[in-house]
Every structure is written in C-alpha cells, then in structure tokens.
Structure 1
Amino acid sequence: MFAVLFAGNGLLVTALLLAPDIARLLSGQNEQVIEAYENRIAQLRVEVDRLHSRSYAQAGDINLQLQELAQQQEVLIEQHQLVRVLVDKADELGIEAAALPADEAGNMALAPSSGGNPDIDATAAAIAQMMDETQFAMTSIAETATKRTDSIVAELSGLGIAVDLPSELEGVGGPLLLPRDDGEASATVDDANAVMAALIRYKAARDGIDGAPIHMPISGNFRQSSGFGNRTDPFTGGRAFHSGLDFAAPKGTTVLSAGKGVVSFVGTKSGYGNVVEVTHANGLISRYGHLSGFLSEVGQAVNTGTPIAKVGSTGRSTGPHLHFEVRKADSAINPKAFLEAGKRLLALLG
C-alpha cells in the first residue's frame, strides 16, 4: 500500500508540475518549456523526497479516494501528452490554440487537513480543473481547424475549384470486436484522434489553396491599368472584350506564378507577345502576357510566388505591363474573383 500511494502521489506531483507547460505550449513557447524541464525535474526530486518522508497509510475511505485520484492522474498525464503532440502539429499548420486560463495548480502542494491527511477534495478539484483545461485546448484546436477548412472550401468552391478532403473513415479497418470499457482514457484518445483528423483535413484544404491561381502575379511598384470584360480598345477606339487584368509596371519587373503548378507553355502568341502559361489543378491555366523575358521553361514545376518571367511590352501593347489571365476549358474567367478570394484566404490564415 505504501508503494501504491507513493507512486500515485509521485504521478500527481508530475501532473501538477507539468500543467503550466500546456499554457506555454499553446502560446508557442515550446523552447522555454524544454529549457524549464531541468528546473522542474529538480523540483520534482525535492517533492518526491518530501513525500517519501510522509506516511499516508490510512484506513477506510481515504485510501479508496487516493486510489481514485491515482487513476485520474494517469488520465491527466495522458491528456497532457496528447495535447503536446496536437499543439506541435497545429503549430506546423499555423494554428495557435487558445491560451488556457491562468492556473496556479502547478505550484500547489498537497496541503494536510486538520486530521493530518492530504486535502483530497482540493487535490481532486485541481486535477479536475486541469483535465477540463486540457480538453479545452484540444477543442479549441479542432474548432479552429474545422472553421478554417470550411472557409477555404467555401472560397474555392465559389471559384469552381473542388477541394479533395480525406474522409474521417478513410484508411481504417480491422476485425469487428466487442468494445472494451476503458473509461476516460479511451474517451481521451478518441477526442485526440478527432482533433488530429480535423488537422489533417485542414492541411488538405491548405494544399488546395496552393494549387489555385489566386495569388498576385506581381509585386512591387505596379497598378491595375485595365480590368476584365468589355472596354474601349486602345488601338481601334471601339468596344472590345478584354480577357484578363492588366498591371502596369516598369519593364523587367519580376512576374510570379499565381499558384502551384507546371509550366505548360513558353513562347509567343498572337496579340500577347511573349507568353508563359502555368497549368494548375482542377484544369485551370494562368496566362502571363506581353513579357520581356522568360525565367522558366516548359515542364518546370513551380510554386506560388516562383519567378517565371519579366514584365515587358511585346505583342499588342501600349507600354510595359503584365497581362494576367485565368482560363478553363479554353475560356477566360475573370481573374479578379480569384485574386479577391486569395486576399480573403491569406487574411484567414494570418
């Protein structure tokens, strides 16, 4: 019994000492947590020595309550470990989980009651509070990931772009066995798996953003000089259809790929002068015209922002500018809708 009680209180001290780490992890201070581990280990050794010198061998309900606390401690420690994994994954995807409420439990010691026994009620309350907070951490990550995924899917769907999201039931199987009643530990693992599934779906949605031509194809000193649709033709003075957006910029300004894809054309086209085309997912093609030079070649894989050409005034042009088009099935689509969606998504991702 002494050994059981000693081990249980050791686990409790570990959980109490590590609880503040959750708040720091959720604020992105992983390095500070790691640096603090040596100090916390030293504190833990002192606390274990102190507990070793005390006797908790009591009869009756106190022992039963201490055993229940030891079980709760195991669940708490498992929760803490799962939260660390989930927070690291969320950090990789740019999600900052909500900070936990201020918690002084990590600095609490087991205060003896008037009868000389540990204050079991206060300890149980501290454990319950930390369990609620770790659950809150997992819930906040899942909610943020799900909300962002839904927003991305809505934006891209409005552009006619389908996002391939993995199913929650994809890649699972096994024999049909009777369920086991593992209590709170099993529920904790299920919750963590649900959060990880939400993060995986969010990553797939983010990959969909990268593959769409929704980012500005030019940076620096430029202005939009002509829009998409009917306009007065600069050469004939009559009404004519303009199939893209024009961005006036100094000759030689770098032209950037508007999304991830593969360069599918480098050369000249009638009216466009020098042209680069990039083929993206969902059958979309971005076209860049009136170029003064090429920085890419056919078959080259490019990412969003990859330099592919230089601004010029070749072809049917009145001066240096980039003509930017988005096309599908050989039909021009208004690029402004794509670029506006890109701005909203960039703001969403922070």
Structure 2
Amino acid sequence: MSYRSGHHSDHQHHDQNRFPPRRAPQAAVAQAAAAGNGYAIVHAGKQVRFGPVVFWIVVGTIVVLGMWSAATATYFAFRDDVLTRLIARQAEMQYAYEDRIAELRSKVDRTTSRQLLDQEQFDQKLDQIMRRQTALESRATALGAIPDTAATGSIRPQARTGAADQPASGTPKPSPISDTVIFVAPPDREARLESRAPVTAKAQPNQFAKVQGVDNVLDRLQTSLDSVERRQMAALSAVEDGMESRVRRMRGVFTDLGLDMAQLEGATPRSAVGGPFVPVKLPADAGPFERQLYRINTTRAQVDRLNRTLALVPYRKPVIGEVEFTSGFGVRSDPFLGRPAMHTGLDFRAQMGDPVRATANGKVASSGWAGGYGRMVEIDHGNGLSTRYGHLSEISVKVGDIIKIGQVIGAVGSTGRSTGPHLHYETRIDGDAVDPQKFLRAGVRLSAG
C-alpha cells in the first residue's frame, strides 16, 4: 500500500507539473508545506523539499547569525567606552607598577646610602683606632728608651770561687753601711713591656666589615687601647716620681755632707763629648704624655749630671760583704798605749787578702809606707775630698793613677800599728779627717726607696 500510495502521489504530482493551475502568479511564490515528515519550499513553480534536520540547522544558523549581528552591533555601539576603560585599566596598572619600581628604587637608594654611611663611619673609627694604636706604639718605644737610672760607678763584687764569698742578692738591708748605691728599677718595667705587646691585630682599613657586631668589636678595641694608655700614663708617672725622688735624695747628699754642689759640678772631669747646641722645644700641640715625657727627660739630664758629680763623693763602702766595725771614728783607748787617743777613721773587720776598693773616682795622691798606717793608699777626689786606706798587705796602684769607683787598689793586711788583719778607712775634707759614717749613711739614704 505504501508503494501504491507513493505511485499515486507521484503521478498526481506529475500531472500537476504538466498542467499547472491558472491561478498561479508569475511572481516568485515560496510555499513551505509539511508532507509527512519533511518541509518543501516552492518558488516560481519549483518546489524544494527539506528534511527536519536540515531545516532546523538552517533555522539555527539564521538565529546564530542574528545574535552575532546583534552582538557586533552592540560592540560597535559601545566599543569606545570599553576601549577607554581597558586603556584606563592598563594605565592604572602601569602607574602602580612604576610606583612600585620607584618605591623599590628608593629603598635600594636608602639602603645603599646607609651602607655607605656605615662604611664611612666604620672606616673613620678604624682609622682613628689605627692612629691611636700607632701613637701608643710610639709611646711604648719612648718608654722603652728611658733607661733605668743607676748611680754612676756602683761597686760590683767580683766573682769568686767560694759560694760563701758570693754577695747576698736582693734588697740591701737597712744597715749603717750599704754595699753600694743601688737604684731599684722602677715598677713600670712590666707595664712598659706590656705596652710593647701587640694589643690587637691590625685590621685592613679600607674593607667594609660585613659581619654583625662591628660596633661591639670597635668598642672592645677602644676599651683595650684605653687600658693600654692608662697603663702607659701610670708607668710614665712612676718613672717621673722615681726620678724626682732620686734628684731630691741626691741633692740631699750634698746638703747632709755640707758640700758645695756647684763647686763639685764645676770640678767634675768631662768626657770627650761635643756637638752643636740644639735647644729642646716642646711642641705647641703636645699632649699630656709628651709634656710628661719632656719633664722626665729634663729630670733625667739632672740625674746624669748629679751622678757624675756624686762619682767624686766617697759614700760607698770600701769592702764587699757584711760590714762590722772593730773601731769607730773619734776618741778611743789606744790599743797599744791604753791612753785616750783620736781615731781618725773606721776599722773594718776583714780577712787577710780581701780586696780593698776605691769608694769614689779620683787620682792616687800617695802610695806606699806611711808610718802607723803601714802600707797606705791615699786617693784625691778633688775639691778637697780625699780617702785613705791603711794597713794594706799589698798595694795595686801607684801615684798618679786615675782610679774608678770600685777599682781594687790593694788587699787587707795588718801592716803598721795594727793588732790584726783589718782595713783602716778615712775620709778627709781639706785635709781634716771627718767621720766616714756620715758619708756612708748618706749613701744608704740615697739607695733607699
């Protein structure tokens, strides 16, 4: 049936095409009719059939195109506003980015400036520390150049074979007679040595310290240098006090002995020295250390001059070892006659052959046998000062010899009016005998302190 129905339909359609109706106009007429499950479009007597799928595709395409056209029209209508907003947004983002860059650059500049400032401050502090350390080193050198002032011509014992003959070491005992005038080294010796030691290693001045705690390190360096400077000033003050005290004691020797210091200085033999006169000047910008060092050098020159003068004063003892008097200066009972008599010197107990030493610089005025003195040596120290050494067993010098302090001039004996081995020692001023203990006590006071 479907076939016939289809044949009949086709036949009818063919007849219609062969004999078109008179009512159809000549203009294009489109007609769409649904026949079964399809669609047909008629135009100018022609008919085109479409399936439902194709039809809806065409319809959908037309709708999409319409929507696209509407969207395009809307875009072109509002394009300027959208572009303006997009450009404004881009500009805002660009400005924000540039502001951020400027802020970061400013931070970098501030950081760099702070680092440069810190580096400059560090270099300045380090340079200050370096200059200060150099100054302290030069001060330590100046302190080391100050000699330990000792009395000129101190009598030193000679080495002997027997250990018992060795002189006792240590500080001289406070006895009436001193072995020699000993000037104890000032207590600043350790401080001077300590100031020479490197306080800290020198840092490189032109390198920026990139570690934390640089300020603490610099503060510790400053504190260490302050400590060294205080020790140096204390050492310098100790030296100055010691020298001033010594000058006072040396001048006190002349006062105690009633000697004319100016006359003795004028008669002091001068060594072969010379050179142009260059006055000592203290710089105008000198600090406390330099001024104190200037005073010390001036005082030291006085000490040297007084030492040369005191080398002519017989305040040392003529024998080495413990001192024991067998007879003092003044009136005594004569050992041979038993009657009161004047003893013009001191009798030192000693062993036969012990060395006898000169107590001051001078020149041999007499050497040989001298009556009750037995073998005797007399030394002229100038300015009316002289010493005599009697009862010698032997004599080691002759008239005219130049004698230095501590030089051996003979040996202990018992020649002349003597009851046994001992040394008869005299000091004379302008030919008159004076108590030698007066000179010896002055020497003890000079060596004290």
| TM-score, normalised with respect to structure 1 | 0.67
Q: Which residue of 2 aligns with 1:288?
A: 389
Select the structure of larger CA radius of gyration: 2
1:320 aligns with: 421
Whether 1:148 aligns to 2:246 is yes
For 2:228, the equivalent position in structure 1 comes to 130
SS at match of 1:299: coil
Equivalenced residues, count: 285
Give the C-alpha shift of residue 278 in structure 1.
1.0
Match of 1:95 among 185, 191, 201: 185
Shift of 1:159: 1.7
The residue that corresponds to 2:358 in the other structure is: 257
Alignment partners' CA distance in 2, 1:329 and 1:243: 14
Residue type of the alignment partner of 2:134? I
Structure 2 CA distance for partners of 1:70 and 1:128, relative to 1, 3 Å: farther
User: Where do 5+ consecutive residues of structure 1 fail to align?
Assistant: 1-54
- State the match for 1:245 in structure 2: 346
Which string of whole-angstrom CA distances, capped at 9 and with x for unpartnered residues, describes residues 325-349 of structure 1?
A: 000111111011222333343454x
Letter in 1 for 2:253: E
User: Does 1:159 pair with 2:257?
Assistant: yes
Counterparts of residues 1-350 of structure 1 (less than 5 Å): 58-60=115-117, 63=120, 66-67=123-124, 70-71=127-128, 73-91=130-148, 93=150, 95-98=185-188, 99-100=190-191, 106-107=199-200, 117-119=214-216, 120-163=218-261, 173=279, 182=285, 184=287, 187-219=288-320, 223-348=324-449
- 1:328 and 1:116 map into 2 onto residues whose CA distance is 74
Q: How far has the Cα of 1:66 moved from its partner?
A: 4.8
* Aligned-partner Cα distance in 2 for 1:135–1:238: 64
Which amino acid is 1:77 matched to?
T
* Contact in 2 for aligned 1:231/1:239 (Cα 8 Å): yes
**Shift, 1:249, TM fit:** 3.3
User: C-alpha root-mean-square deviation of aligned residues, in Å?
Assistant: 3.9
Distance, in Å, in 1 between the alignment partners of 2:186 and 2:305 is 18
Equivalent-residue separation in structure 1 for 2:242 and 2:322 (angstroms) = 36
TM-score (ref. length: structure 2): 0.53
Give me the whole-angstrom Cα distance separating, in 1, the residues matched to 2:141 and 2:187: 11
Name which of structure 1's ranges 97-106 and 329-338 shifts more when overlaid on structure 2: 97-106
SS of the aligned residue for 1:90 comes to coil
CA distance in 2 between counterparts of 1:61 and 1:128 reads 24
Residue type of the alignment partner of 1:159: L
- TM-aligned CA distance change 1:250 to 1:222, over 3 Å: farther
Cα distance in structure 2, aligned partners of 1:161 and 1:57: 74
Using the aligned pairs only, state the percent identity: 29
Letter in 1 for 2:425: F
CA–CA separation in structure 2 for the residues paired with 1:283 and 1:57: 81
Distance in structure 2 (CA, Å) of the matches to 1:76 and 1:180? 21
Q: Which amino acid aligns with 2:420?
A: G
Where do 5+ consecutive residues of structure 2 fail to align? 1-111, 151-183, 204-208, 267-276
CA distance in 2, matches of 1:183, 1:304: 41
Shift of residue 158, structure 1, vs aligned partner: 0.8
Read off the aligned partner of 2:403 and give its amino acid letter: V
1:139–1:195 Cα contact (<8 Å) kept: no
Separation in 1, partners of 2:284, 2:238 = 27
Whole-angstrom distance in 2 between the partners of 1:232 and 1:189: 62
Q: Is the 8 A contact 1:90 1:199 kept in 2?
A: no
Question: Which moves more between the two structures, 76-85 or 134-143?
Answer: 76-85
CA distance in 2, matches of 1:227, 1:245: 5
How big is the shift at 1:95? Answer: 2.8
